[in-house]
Amino acid sequence: MHCTLRTSARPFIEATNEESNRRKMASKKKPKGDPHGMFAGMVVFLVPRGVQARRFHIWKERLVQMGAVVEERLSKRVTHVFAMHSDALHQQLDTEQDCLKSGELLSEDGYALKLDPQGEHTHEKSLDPGLTNQSTSSDPQQLINKKRKLSTEDTKNVNHEGDGDDGREKVIFSSTSTASSHGKVDSLSYRNTRPQHIDAENEMSSLSYCPPDLNKKITEIFGKLVNIYRALGEDRRSFSYYKAIAVIEKLPFKIESADQINNLPSIGKSMKDHIQEIITNGKLSKLEHFETDEKVRTISLFGEVWGIGPSTALKLYEKGHRSLDDLRIDDSLTNAQKLGLKYFDDIRQRIPRHEVQEMDCILQKVGEDVLSGVVIICGGSYRRGKASCGDIDIIITHPDGKRQGTDSGVDTYFGFCTYPGRELRHRIDLKVTNVTS
């Protein structure tokens, strides 16, 4: 390798392949390398060590798809080296060096690996001190990070039918190039900007890398469109934006040109056009139009009420209602909708994590009093380690597994609860099941 090894660890998140597995017809797509993809011009060598075969294959696939050339050997042409973690990288380099014995031994000066200069920041992000910081590497600046969930709330549909490889894990790669056209990214800070997910089940490392919201402007606007389209009942379109956000959030660079986002999944022509408009104008006329449209605004507002969906929101609008106070007069609302209206402001309040924890404890105790041995698990965002929760999810089960459901036949409760000594109402879901999952 004659190129200088000015290596700067740079996180890279695989493009999601979420929907491909849902295709009815399993057509084999042959992604041509995108000459404008984010890895265009890179000649990559992948260090297989420590990478599962399946994952290794996906790496290669994505790299090629996004414009890179993947070399089977660490040849002179190689401009970038990807490794699972620093150990693998070092071992590989040691091996290569031995192979070069016959030739001259080049100075190692230029090979200094600058591993994840921001690594130290990752240590202060664990929100759950109770979790062990499991590391697969002795290197404190461990390069491997895994994360299984989206930053946003659950979306099993985005990630179901898994083949065991969720295709969403993140990998940091080391660049050995000085010629990278994307080198500027290296200087960016990868400071975390949002709470971590702690996946206790998988003993996930708390060193998880969370991408910065470099494209916040775009994702914010798209997020508004998600809500608007959902309120309007255009679920499909809404979901498209939702998926696009997930993809954009994981980009390790700030989008400055639509050319940088070619070939990304879930981002087609319209999305690209919108992104282009946002980065040039700082706004999206489509959204502005929505936000000034009284009908859209009203229906969106009504849709925020728990229990009111697109259909009801539209009916209420057509009845002439324009405000929440108008709704309060309407007696056609279902009980749930009335409650949703009554506690409209309450529900919007997020619940501090420690309060959820206390509620959990209370429920554990009550549950034990009612039925000895009952297992009560507080799931949802709490279980995923969020600092605050939008609602509380409780799963009730029993090791006996003797029955599913309750005496009344109802095994699910969507309702409200309140923190002891307060009036503020929170949303809580209870589910009784005999399956511990």
Partner DNA sequence: GCCC
Partner DNA sequence: CAGTACG
Partner DNA sequence: GGGCCGCTACTG
Q: Going by DSSP bridges, is the β-strand pair 425-432/392-397 parallel, antiparallel, or unpaired?
A: parallel
Quote the CA–CA distance of 413 and 158 in Å, as a whole number. 25
Tokens 């009612």, located at residue:
370
- Give the footprint of DNA on residues 125-164 (CB under 7 A): 154, 156-157, 160
Report DSSP state, residue 197: P
- Give the footprint of DNA on residues 267-286 (CB under 7 A): 267-272, 286
Burial of residue 159 (CB within 10 Å: 0-12, 13-18, 19+) is buried
Quote the CA–CA distance of 180 and 156 in Å, as a whole number. 36
Least distance CB 269 / DNA (angstroms): 5
How many Å is the Cα radius of gyration of the chain?
Answer: 25
Quote the CA–CA distance of 321 and 168 in Å, as a whole number. 43
| Residue from 33, 41, 223, 307 in contact with DNA (CB under 7 A) | 307
390 and 351 Cβ atoms separated by less than 8 Å: yes
| Residue from 38, 208, 393, 417 in contact with DNA (CB under 7 A) | 393
Work out whether 23 is an interface residue with DNA (CB under 7 A).
yes
Nearer of residues 31 and 35 to DNA, judged by Cβ: 31
What tokens were used for 295? 């009908």
Least distance CB 337 / DNA (angstroms): 8
Total residues in contact with DNA, by rule CB under 7 A: 56
- Give the footprint of DNA on residues 161-200 (CB under 7 A): none
Nearer of residues 43 and 333 to DNA, judged by Cβ: 333
Nearer of residues 121 and 338 to DNA, judged by Cβ: 338
Tokens 């040109």, located at residue:
257
The distance between the two most distant Cα atoms of the chain, rounded to a whole number of Å, is: 88
Identify whether 354 is a catalytic site residue.
Answer: no
Least distance CB 149 / DNA (angstroms): 10
Catalytic one among 80, 85, 274, 321?
274
Least distance CB 381 / DNA (angstroms): 8
Which amino acid is it at 80?
Answer: H
Beta bridge partners of 172: 11
Spacing of C-alpha 301 from chain mean position? 26
Quote the CA–CA distance of 71 and 237 in Å, as a whole number. 39
Work out whether 265 is an interface residue with DNA (CB under 7 A).
yes
| Residue from 2, 29, 30, 101 in contact with DNA (CB under 7 A) | 29
Over the window 197 to 236, marking each residue x when it contacts DNA by CB under 7 A and - when it does not, the resulting string is ------------------------------------x--x
Binding site for DNA (CB under 7 A): 19-20, 22-25, 27, 29, 154, 156-157, 160, 233, 236-237, 239-241, 243-244, 264-272, 286, 303, 305-313, 334-336, 340, 379-380, 391, 393, 405, 410-414, 427, 429
